[in-house]
Amino acid sequence: MKVLVVNAGSSSLKYQVIEMNTETLLCKGGIERIGIEGSNLTQESGGKKYNVEKPLANHTEGFDLLIKCLTDKSVGGVLDDISEIEAVGHRVLHTGTDFDDSVLITPEALKILEKNAFLGPLHMPANIACVKSCMQVLPGVPNVAVFDTAFHTTMPAYAYMYAIPYEDYEQFKIRRYGFHGTSHKFVSQTAKKWLEDNGFASGRIVTCHLGNGSSITAVKDGKCVDTSMGMTPLEGVPMGTRSGDIDASVVEFLCNFKKMTVGEVITYLNKKSGFLGVSGVSSDSRNMLEEAHKGNERARLAADMFTYKVKKYIGSYAAAMGGLDCIVFTGGIGENSDEMREGIVKGLEFLGVELDKAENKKREKPPVREISTKASKVRVLIVPTNEELMIARDTRRIVKGE
């Protein structure tokens, strides 16, 4: 069974074709600058990379080009005919409060996605445009929505509620939802299996997805019980350009002192804060750490704020779950930065965490790598994430009715 995985961002569209009987990646690609001058598609297959430049006004035009390129051998297309695609899995940002799992996109389900578009004004219109294009270009092929928020729908109300007047939760759905759910689900499932296969406890796992955007999730007996992002991805730990948790009154101070509108403050908190805002150097953790090593104090401070906050989330989730069996690191920073990992777990010895420093420094990336010592009471693992494979697995499960 060949599954097309589609991941649409506000001006981008990434895709993969995966043969699901063997879970083999056949080809992958991406379109950038949709709706902006200079849009182009890159496609990779058989170890080669191809580039197609074409003006693309919107996601529908982008999707049409993608479909053509999949069967065009001169640009690395891997299909003889587009009918080889048996199902399409779409990464969709938001479930709202309507779904708790991935779902087959029927006309009714599509209406619900449209109703919830206001919850993700940057991503949801792009997600919906791709679903509609797919329905036109590949009639009869099932489309499955795999939601970024679905894994977090098992959170108890006391974890997802904000302590604001209850009727505003009821009327406007103001609550915490969490994001990166597909990644947290993939790495927690992978870690759980590894722990069970190796005879370790697996009931209380904290997954740390640390990249440009970062979130931490508490996974108890395979289910999410808390996560650090909230109504939007702004809440939680400091990120590349996001502030993370902040007292909401700061918004009023910024409006007064800097004569900003609320919208401008929200952009400032999402795009100008975090590593970039504190260090003044870069939103990229590598550049920031390089500067910190040269003695740049603000870069050091930004890095320390990050490791401190991730540590606090791990500690609070250990409290939420009544203990801790495993910490999982994933995402660009989680998978690659030994320095950040060491900074995060330092001080968690009281929970039984003992890092194997030599193992932590190694660069290999198997599906699971343990970086805790044999004596450690808590397993510390690196699990490279694979959101596309998780989407393809869910798509197959939903289509096959498993």
Least spacing, CB of residue 240 vs ligand ADP, in Å? 6
Residues 265-284 that bind ligand ADP (CB under 6 A): 284
195: which residues sit within 8 A by CB, 6+ positions away? 201, 202, 205, 325, 326, 379
Which one, 341 or 396, has the nearer CB to ligand ADP? Answer: 341
Is the separation of the CB atoms in 344 and 314 below 8 Å?
Answer: yes
Asked if 115 interacts with ligand ADP (CB under 6 A), we say: no
Is the separation of the CB atoms in 353 and 363 below 8 Å?
Answer: no
Binding segment for ligand ADP (CB under 6 A), chosen from 74-82, 103-111, 171-179, 207-215, is: 207-215
Least spacing, CB of residue 317 vs ligand ADP, in Å? 21
207, 243, 285, 376: residue in contact with ligand ADP (rule CB under 6 A): 285
Least spacing, CB of residue 295 vs ligand ADP, in Å? 19
Identify which of 238, 245, 215 has the alpha carbon closest to the alpha carbon of residue 285: 238
For residue 37, give both structure tokens: 């001058």
**What is the distance between the alpha carbons of residues 5 and 278, in angstroms, rounded to a whole number?**
36
Is the separation of the CB atoms in 15 and 43 below 8 Å?
Answer: no
Asked if 217 interacts with ligand ADP (CB under 6 A), we say: no
**What is the distance between the alpha carbons of residues 79 and 71, in angstroms, rounded to a whole number?**
5
Residue type, position 106, single letter? T
Asked if 127 interacts with ligand ADP (CB under 6 A), we say: no
Taking CA atoms, 179 is separated from 151, 216, 262, 291, in Å, by 9, 10, 23, 30
Asked if 290 interacts with ligand ADP (CB under 6 A), we say: no
Binding segment for ligand ADP (CB under 6 A), chosen from 106-114, 187-195, 216-224, 331-339, is: 331-339
228, 336, 360, 386: residue in contact with ligand ADP (rule CB under 6 A): 336
Is the separation of the CB atoms in 370 and 384 below 8 Å?
Answer: no
332, 378, 389, 393: residue in contact with ligand ADP (rule CB under 6 A): 332
Which one, 49 or 361, has the nearer CB to ligand ADP? Answer: 361
For residue 237, give both structure tokens: 């730990």
**What is the distance between the alpha carbons of residues 52 and 160, in angstroms, rounded to a whole number?**
44
272, 286, 357, 362: residue in contact with ligand ADP (rule CB under 6 A): 286
How buried is 132 (Cβ within 10 angstroms: 0-12 exposed, 13-18 middle, 19+ buried)? middle
Least spacing, CB of residue 7 vs ligand ADP, in Å? 11
Residue type, position 5, single letter? V
How buried is 3 (Cβ within 10 angstroms: 0-12 exposed, 13-18 middle, 19+ buried)? buried
153, 337, 360, 395: residue in contact with ligand ADP (rule CB under 6 A): 337
For residue 284, give both structure tokens: 């990229």
Asked if 333 interacts with ligand ADP (CB under 6 A), we say: yes
Asked if 7 interacts with ligand ADP (CB under 6 A), we say: no
Q: How many residues bind ligand ADP (CB under 6 A)?
A: 12
Which one, 85 or 310, has the nearer CB to ligand ADP? Answer: 310
Which one, 276 or 321, has the nearer CB to ligand ADP? Answer: 276
**What is the distance between the alpha carbons of residues 33 and 212, in angstroms, rounded to a whole number?**
19
Which residues are known catalytic residues? 148
Least spacing, CB of residue 138 vs ligand ADP, in Å? 27
Which one, 222 or 280, has the nearer CB to ligand ADP? Answer: 280
Residue closest to ligand ADP (Cβ) = 332
Positions that interact with ligand ADP (CB under 6 A) = 211-213, 240, 284-286, 331-333, 336-337
